[in-house]
A and B are shown apart, each in its own frame.
Chain A
Amino acid sequence: MNNTADKFILLSLRLITYAIVLVVGYILFDIIRNGFSALNWQFVSSFPRRSGAAGGIFPAIVGTFYLVVGTIAVSLPLGVGGAIYLAEYAEQNRFNSLIRLAIITLAGVPSIVFGLFGLGIFVLFFGFGPSILAGSLTLACMVLPTIIVASEESLRAVPKGFRDASLALGATKWEMIRTNVLPYSLSGMITGAILGIGRAAGETAPILLTVAAFYLPRLPKSVFDQVMALPYHLYILATQHPEAERIRHMQYGTALILLLLVLGLSLGAILLRTHSRKKFRW
């Protein structure tokens, strides 16, 4: 009887997993099948023509790349710093659990809300205008919770034995954290960054209000310039473009490039993570 129940559970779980893989696989397959025909050197290296109906998406690739780099550059140090405070220094009391709860809740806030927040704070209040700076800061706010949570988990996962041994050898608390906690939790922090990269590259709503332009004749010169970005470009092509029906291949091509860009950035981070895991194993 028990054995039958066990088999049934195993089979159900397996089917559920397969179903998920199937859905993801189909989406990927659909994008690759339809987008592949649009891919060529000109598509990735030239500016759009006829409002994106022809030409390429080069400035959008560059824009998304800048935004992702800017987002990580802001959110990783802040997130890791916050995580170090929460995991290593903050006392376990009600106030700090409240902070933690707030951070987790922040992760669930809809991205359009972050967009409006960024518009209010960075674009208008600080007067950055629609710009890479405002967009990156907005996206950084959005991915911050993810990075904090992932980093804090990985800090807490470092065995107490390493900490005790460091302190007993006369290390100060910060020396202990720097030499015997941070290096081992690096891989978890990179995981947080990978998740952040994916979100920062893919979100449309936050950049819609803070940085994205549909068409710019030249690449940005400074962080105060607007940029084109892949998700926004895709959104316009697919829903706002007068020739939307006719340029499906351009839309799929853009989606495919966005996927490849996220994959490429994540792959870099994954390699870094594998390297740091190999270096410190226990």
Chain B
Amino acid sequence: MVEHSIYPENQEMVITTSQVNFFYGQTQALFGISLLIPAKQVTALIGPSGCGKSTFLRCLNRMNDTIPHGRVEGEIFINAKDIYAPGTDVVELRKEVGMVFQKSNPFPKSIFDNVAYGPRIHGEKNPKRLAEIVEQSLQQAAIWDEVKDRLHANAMGLSGGQQQRLCIARALAVGPKILLMDEPASALDPKATTRIEDLIGELRTNYTIVIVTHNMQQAARVSDYTAFFYEGQLIECDQTPKIFTNPRQKQTEDYITGRFG
């Protein structure tokens, strides 16, 4: 289904999935998903609730491992490594593939300790180096100027939008190449949403981003490629403008024109 023709000729691919099935116990949630994720581009996963887009996203950093009776079939290659191969180090994988969640979830610790959490558990002890990483990550997440004077204040005191950008900074601090975002702005007001979208625009120069979103305007604004999921199947994936102006599949058209979902 996915044809290379939708990508420029020399586009490098970071994630390749082939025939991925996912089961919650007896219930199959994903059916044969084969998708390519291009490097340093934003790929949006859209589709109605329960279509499997979040489940698919969580396969990419093996967060689905924590689901009791969850089961994955098929192959997922990230940087040419099969991430479900026996002996895969999940810790290494998750250092490579960061994640931002729908509901901002800063730890009830200081802003500094939030961002330093990842580097610390990976063994960085040097206070000077930690301070550098924290500043750099907060700057990348466009929140440094707002928090630089209160790095040691509790992160729970930040606004919802700030908390979400802090979570992005925290994910960046580990030094990932890929960033998975699960509806990162769905709980935010329009202004905070715009800031997150702007931030995604800046991050795409350095990171490969996969974003799940309910908001089709958002997908249209922030992404280069869009994949449409429906009832656990990947219906189609194409360059974002194409999906929104001239989709190949009728189901896609019905969804984006608001006929269902």
A34: CB under 8 A from chain B?
A: no
Q: How far is the CA of A281 from the CA of B68 in the complex (A)?
A: 29
Task: Choose, from A36-44, A157-165, A263-271, the stretch at the interface.
Answer: A157-165
Q: Which residues of B contact A169 (CB under 8 A)?
A: 94, 98, 117-118, 121, 170-171, 174
Q: Is the CB of B167 within 8 A of A165?
A: yes
Q: Is the CB of B94 within 8 A of A282?
A: no
A91: CB under 8 A from chain B?
A: yes
Q: How far is the CA of A179 from the CA of B117 in the complex (A)?
A: 9
Q: Is the CB of A91 within 8 A of B91?
A: no
Residues A177-225 near B (CB distance < 8 A): 179-180, 184
Measured as residues with beta carbon below 8 angstroms from the partner, the interface class of chain B is 20 to 34
Q: How far is the CA of A175 from the CA of B91 in the complex (A)?
A: 11
Residues B15-65 near A (CB distance < 8 A): 61, 63
B233: CB under 8 A from chain A?
A: no
Q: For A169, give the chain B residue with the smallest CB separation.
A: B118
Q: Is the CB of B105 within 8 A of A171?
A: no
Q: Is the CB of B156 within 8 A of A282?
A: yes
A280: CB under 8 A from chain B?
A: yes
The 0/1 profile, CB within 8 Å of A marked 1, for residues 123-142 of chain B is: 00000000000000000000
A97: CB under 8 A from chain B?
A: no
Q: Which residues of A contact B91 (CB under 8 A)?
A: 170-172
Q: Is the CB of A161 within 8 A of B105?
A: yes
Whether A162 contacts B105 in the complex (CB less than 8 A), given A169-B94, A170-B95, comes out as: yes
Q: How far is the CA of A161 from the CA of B105 in the complex (A)?
A: 5
Q: Is the CB of A175 within 8 A of B167?
A: no
A239: CB under 8 A from chain B?
A: no
Residues A10-44 near B (CB distance < 8 A): none
Q: Which residues of A contact B107 (CB under 8 A)?
A: 162, 165-166, 180
Residues B146-196 near A (CB distance < 8 A): 154, 156, 167, 170-171, 174
Q: Is the CB of A161 within 8 A of B103?
A: yes
User: Which of A165, A179, A281 meets B156, CB within 8 Å?
Assistant: A281
Q: How far is the CA of A281 from the CA of B155 in the complex (A)?
A: 10
Q: How far is the CA of A159 from the CA of B107 in the complex (A)?
A: 10
Q: Which residues of B contact A280 (CB under 8 A)?
A: 108-109
Q: How far is the CA of A143 from the CA of B107 in the complex (A)?
A: 32
**A233 vs chain B, min Cβ distance (A):** 45
Q: Is the CB of B101 within 8 A of A161?
A: yes
Q: Is the CB of A167 within 8 A of B101?
A: no
Q: How far is the CA of A91 from the CA of B70 in the complex (A)?
A: 13
Q: Is the CB of B121 within 8 A of A171?
A: yes
A240: CB under 8 A from chain B?
A: no
Whether A168 contacts B94 in the complex (CB less than 8 A), given A92-B68, A281-B156, comes out as: yes
B99: CB under 8 A from chain A?
A: yes
Whether A167 contacts B63 in the complex (CB less than 8 A), given A159-B105, A180-B107, comes out as: yes
Q: Is the CB of A168 within 8 A of B171?
A: yes
Q: For B89, give the chain A residue with the smallest CB separation.
A: A170
Q: How far is the CA of A180 from the CA of B95 in the complex (A)?
A: 18
Q: Is the CB of A170 within 8 A of B68?
A: no
Q: State the B residues within 8 Å of A (CB).
A: 61, 63, 66, 68, 91-92, 94-95, 98-99, 101, 103, 105-109, 117-118, 121-122, 154, 156, 167, 170-171, 174
A selection of 19 A-B contacts at a CB cut-off of 8 Å is A161-B103, A162-B107, A164-B63, A164-B66, A164-B105, A166-B117, A167-B63, A168-B99, A168-B171, A169-B117, A169-B121, A169-B171, A169-B174, A170-B91, A170-B174, A179-B121, A184-B108, A281-B154, A281-B156
8 extra A-B contacts, CB within 8 A, seeds A170-B121, A282-B108: A161-B101, A161-B103, A161-B105, A164-B63, A165-B170, A166-B107, A281-B154, A281-B156
